[in-house]
Structure 1
Amino acid sequence: MSFLDIGHPGQRTFKVDELSKFGRPAKPRSATWWIRFFVQSRIEENEVAIKKFELASAKKHYQSACQIFHLKSFI
């Protein structure tokens, strides 16, 4: 199971140590952009992991402040 935390699209502040190796912060992307990227790259979301995460987060009353994707492993 793979897990990808890509941050929140409304998050516009970056710390100096979070800059990419090219000297610029990574551009925040919307969930729609990521889904389209996954489809084009033939990366699939892991539905079982998504349901498990949703159940666990509901039990703990967890509210995510970022976009979370559960991806199928390439292996």
Structure 2
Amino acid sequence: MSGISIFLRKAWANEPVVCFSIVIGAVGLSLPCFVPKLWGRYPDKIQTDERSAMTEAARLQALERSGLL
């Protein structure tokens, strides 16, 4: 571990822009591993799904009341 920290310190001293770019890339690659599984579940998508579920339930109720189901 100390070898890695020494390497990173020397890399930062020599080329801070390159080191910063590597850090940004590492964060971008590791972010999906640490973020909860919410991909594709944005608030507007959640509201749309809830609305369509309510519409489908109302349609099913109407079919049951009319005796078609």
TM-score, with length taken from structure 1: 0.27
- Which has the larger Rg? 2
Name whichever structure is richer in strand by fraction.
1
More RCO (CA 8 Å, sep 6+)? 1
TM-score, with length taken from structure 2: 0.28
